[in-house]
Every structure is written in C-alpha cells, then in structure tokens.
Amino acid sequence: MKLAALQMVSTPDVAENLASAVRLVAEAAAAGAELVALPEYFCLLGRRDTDKLAAAEQPGHGPIQQTLAGLARRHRVWLVGGTLPIVVDAARVLNRSCVYAPDGSEAAHYDKLHLFAFDNGQESYDEGRTLAAGDAPAAFDCDGWRVGLSICYDLRFPELYRALMRPPCDLLVVPAAFTYTTGQAHWELLLRARAVENQCYVLAPAQGGQHANGRRTWGHSLIVDPWGEVLACRDEGAGVVLANASRARLTEVRRQLPALAHRRL
C-alpha cells in the first residue's frame, strides 16, 4: 500500500488552508497514494488559541468535513483528515481526526486524548485552555490493514499505542504540529520508537515551517517501517512524502523477532 504524509505550513485563513490541502491531496493521489494523511491543525493555525472556537464544526457537518469527504471520494483514497475543531461548548472544542473511505463516508474518528502543555520561559502553550480531551483510542480497517489513530502529543504516551495493539495495528498515524524546540529534540526519536516497539509502520504528517502567527513548527514529516527505518522525510515546507508499506516486510519483522507475542503485560 502506498502511503502519503502531507506536510503543510497552515495559516489563520481556513479557506487558504483548504485550498492547500486540495492541491496536496491531488498531488499525492496522482503519485499513486492509497492512504493519505494531513497534519494536525491543517485547516487552521490561528493567531490565538480561541480562533479554534469560531472555526469549530458540529460532528459530521461543516465545510471542512465536507471538503475532506469530497477529496476522499474524488480521488478514491483513504484520507486521514489531520485534525479539525469539533464543538463541545461555547468555550471548548475537541481536536478530532476524521477518517474518510474512498466513497467519502466517515470510516472512523479519534479525539486527541493527551493535551499538550509546555513552558520553557520563552515559549508557552497549554491546549487545555480551549481543548477538551478525548476519552478512547480508535482504529479502523483499511483494505485489510489495521490502522491506529493518534495525534501529536499522544506520541509521548506509549501506553496509548499498546492499547491500540490489541489486536496489533499494521500502521499508526500521527498527524502533528510539533514545536520546533520539542520536535528537534524528540520527534524522530519517538516516532521510530513507536514503530520498533509495536513492529508496525508509522505515518507522521506534520506542520513544518514559519507560520503567520509567529510560531515555528518542526516539520520532518516521516514514514517509518516496522524495523525503525525512515523510508521518507521532508524537512520543512509544504509537500508530499511518499513510501510503500509492504505486508511482506511487516510479516518478516514480526516473524524474525516475535516481540508482540512475547508481551507479558
């Protein structure tokens, strides 16, 4: 199965970001991608955290979700729609990843469980001010591949991925908007660790560049194989990262080192 991680440098303008997503999904589909994933906050990186509230949609309704469903249907791809804000109440939203099947129907969704907070004296973020946390892991079947969903900061919590491995996932998807500081230190390290310990592919589309709100994201969208080998990467800037996921490779790694069968906890 050919995978595509789409890297973006999203802006505070939803229409502009949707136009970029339309272009990138079309480029990935033209290159033969069968499963395409957008980054976290692909539709909006606002000037303030509260900008998410104005752009938030009701579950299953709204222009962002309609655009994603239409793209999956038009290009006949499985589309992991990065994340978008879903209404909880007047002050909070869910950070939701919606998955669309090639017929445009919603196949699954996942609400970010772990909410990011960081303060090094120069940079400060606290997603809990505007986000409500999700309450359950989520996975879906993609033409015989079991695909587990996660979002950005979730990457630091291996117990989530262990929960997704009952039964084992063949692919983990991690749309993200890692800060430049934390990404430089830990992004590739954590992605490769999740691939190795779970013996599966990891598809990680990211925000990557200098944003209009002054924030800089790390980028380095990656596709990693079950042995921890980086198959493809894009450092910064918008673009498409492509690689093939091989069922034979997955089987080979799990046969040679049957670590998943050795689990005791």
Q: What is the CATH number of the domain that holds 103?
A: 3.60.110.10
Catalytic residues: 40, 112, 152
Tokens at residue 125, please? 């973020």
pLDDT digits (tens, 9 = 90+) for 158-190: 999 999 999 999 999 999 999 999 999 999 999
Q: Which amino acid, one-letter code, is at 80?
A: V
The Cα–Cα gap between 238 and 113 comes to 27
Backbone φ, ψ for residue 211 (5° rounding): -100, 160
pTM (two decimals): 0.96
Q: What percent of the chain has pLDDT over 90?
A: 94
Looking at residue 169, what DSSP letter applies?
P
- Rounded average pLDDT over 108-117: 96
The Cα–Cα gap between 150 and 82 comes to 10
* CB neighbours of residue 91 within 10 Å: 10
pLDDT at residue 119 above 90?
Answer: no
| Higher-confidence position of 125 and 248 | 248
User: Cα 222–223–224 angle (5° rounding)?
Assistant: 115
Which residues constitute the domain of residue 78? Answer: 2-262
pLDDT digits (tens, 9 = 90+) for 182-226: 999 999 999 999 999 999 999 999 999 999 999 999 999 999 999
pLDDT digits (tens, 9 = 90+) for 24-54: 999 999 999 999 999 999 999 999 989 999 9
Tokens at residue 46, please? 């606002």
Q: List, in sequence order, the alpha helices (H) in the chain.
A: 14-30, 51-55, 63-75, 158-164, 180-198, 247-256
- Domain count of the fold of the chain: 1
Q: List, in sequence order, the alpha helices (H) in 31-157.
A: 51-55, 63-75
pLDDT of residue 126: 87
